[in-house]
Chains A and B, each alone.
Chain A
Amino acid sequence: MKAALFSTCKYNGPALDKGWPVSGAVYSRQAAQDSMQQSLDQFQLADELGFDWVTVAEHHYAPFSLTPNPMVMAGALTQVIKRAKIALLGADIPILNPVRVAEEFAMLDTMTGGRVVAGMLRGTPNEYVTYNINPAESRARFEEALHLIKMAWTQTEPFGWQGRYYEYRTVSIWPRCVQEPHPKIYMSGSSPEAGEFAAKNKVGLGFAVTTVPLAAKAAAHYRTQADRFGWEPEPEDVIYRVAVHVGENDDQALEDFVEATKTGARTGLTMANRGLESAIAETGYYGRDADMQRQRLMPRSLQERIDQGQILLGGPDTVLKQIENIKRELGAGVIDFTVAHQMGDKTVRSIELLGEKVLPRIRHW
């Protein structure tokens, strides 16, 4: 089993962290700079500790994440991360220029000598407001954009594209990807439609902001569909992203976490603005099992989050058991550890404990 360290590059400073989008009225420029540096330092530590990947992602308009363009952070990481792969999980391709995305991934792949993992996501529902894209078009835009990006990576002759959502008269990207034919692609796979598309197009599947039972069901659907299309996903085709805080022992981990989050649990980007979420849901964004998709975004208590596999919390042995459960239920081959809450030295120690006590064990699973 492979291990990744994901950080949203959360802003640790004064903020009116209510709703979405979040006002910048009390924004601290210095805190933002420090927060970015902190994330870079933690990624560097993960690389030194033997994590297989470091992961960045795209989110907009909130202190939850300072990487609205994760490609920029990944560009910085190419100069810091010497061994691990740099995973972008991912670019929200329906709201972006797909040719630009293809170019940026190819740049990163070239700068790292072929150590880029290409996550292509629809993004959280709120992201559609960011660049004024109709969420009803999300899935169709995603599918077309992914085809276009793959074509941009693989077609060596200049070509044009006459699509439903994208039109280019000539595309011929430079540089090209180092990995042939292109970096490994993952997409988010919580909905049945996503699992079917991923299976048909032989791309990997990632799960985030979900629960182990929901992800297990979706992973089984993906494998069934892959079988229909004549192939069998490898364990590494399935990623499970999960929040984590490891302490020296269970009591200390819980104490750290409760202390750090006593000001209130975060509601998540989408549910931070219920009116917006409801309006997006009305467009059909969630697909054919909308109720389940919305359910996985609902806030839960800490105990529920632990029980449902949304957070790994405890000493190394407890966390190992929690990971074992994820491996067993999903067959996931990559676990994408998310810093559950930035706690300074305690977070650094949590990453160290993962690297020293957890990774050596799960590597052989």
Chain B
Amino acid sequence: MNTTVNATSSTAPLLCFGFADADASPALKLIAAGRAVVSGADQAATSAIIAKGAACGEALSFAAQYAGIVESLILIAPDEATAKRAGEIGAECQAQVLALAGTLDAKSGAAATAIKQALPSCHLVYVFDTSKDMDIERPEALAKVARDFLARRDKFLVSNADGRITP
């Protein structure tokens, strides 16, 4: 692995793992919101990582390796192996983690739950009416929670929506 390090920044590239064609993904475009999208572990470490499916384990290891640089890690429909890896890494993962599971995919729901139990800084969110391909099935829903998490990290728990009907 030949990896360099990017400066931590809210405009740092979004590093992706496990997307067949990251450049063509509508969900990634929405989530990146102007950031560059780069793929694979040979890229420079950056503050924001997003991974899907079986690649979540690799992304988790990468985040542990670059603890202090990787601030936010989003795991989409993680698998059982990722849950096992999370158990091994535990508190070594300093990044804040968002584990996303589709309500139609019991396996990733179980894995995401196990990851939440293993990682102190993990948030578990279900994306309703999706399976492991939530980025294709409901890209807007995925992007809404992912963008909020990337922008505000654990402050995303607190609503900043304007609830007024009219001024």
Contacts and interface: CB of A to CB of B under 8 A. Distances in A.
Nearest to A151: B126
Interface in B88-145: 100, 103, 113, 116-117, 123-129, 141-142, 144-145
Contacts, number: 51
Contacts of A158: 116, 124
- Place the interface of chain B in its size category: 20 to 34
Contact of B141 (A147, A155, A159, A164): A164
Nearest to B124: A159
B128 A163 contact: yes
A162 B145 contact: yes
B129 A160 contact: no
A339 B124 CA distance: 47
A158 B100 CA distance: 13
Contacts of B156: 169
A161 interface: yes
A163 B102 CA distance: 10
Contacts of B159: 169
Nearest to A147: B103
A180 interface: no
A151 B157 contact: no
A323 to B, nearest CB: 40
Most buried by B among A158, A159, A166: A159
Interface in A162-217: 162-164, 166-167, 169-170
- Place the interface of chain A in its size category: 10 to 19
Interface string B134-167: 0000000110110000000000111100000000
B125 A159 contact: yes
Contact of A161 (B116, B117, B128): B128
Contacts of B100: 162
A232 interface: no
Given A151-B103, A164-B141, A159 B126 contact: yes
A144 B129 contact: yes
B125 to A, nearest CB: 4
Given A162-B127, A162-B128, A169 B157 contact: yes
B128 A157 contact: no
Contact of B128 (A155, A164, A169, A170): A164
B83 to A, nearest CB: 12
Nearest to A158: B124
Given A160-B126, A162-B141, A164-B128, A155 B103 contact: no
B126 A157 contact: no
A314 B28 CA distance: 68
Interface in A119-156: 144, 147-148, 151, 155
Nearest to B148: A169
A162 B156 CA distance: 13
A277 B144 CA distance: 36
A115 B156 CA distance: 38
A161 B145 CA distance: 9
Contacts of A161: 125-126, 128
A266 B125 CA distance: 47
Contacts of A163: 128-129, 141
Contacts of B144: 162, 167
Contacts of B103: 147, 151
A169 B128 CA distance: 13
Nearest to B159: A169
Interface string A244-264: 000000000000000000000
B124 A160 contact: yes
Nearest to A148: B128
A160 B144 CA distance: 13
Contacts of B127: 162
A164 B144 CA distance: 11
Contact of A155 (B113, B145, B157): B113
Contacts of A144: 128-129
Given A162-B144, A169-B156, A157 B125 contact: no
A137 to B, nearest CB: 14
A145 B128 CA distance: 10
B127 to A, nearest CB: 5
Most buried by B among A144, A147, A164, A167: A167
13 contacts: A147-B103, A151-B103, A158-B116, A158-B124, A159-B125, A162-B100, A162-B128, A162-B141, A164-B128, A164-B141, A167-B144, A170-B123, A170-B157
Given A147-B103, A161-B128, A169-B125, 18 more contacts: A159-B116, A159-B124, A159-B125, A159-B126, A160-B124, A160-B126, A160-B145, A162-B125, A162-B126, A162-B142, A162-B145, A163-B141, A167-B144, A169-B123, A169-B156, A169-B158, A169-B159, A170-B123
Interface of A: 144, 147-148, 151, 155, 157-164, 166-167, 169-170
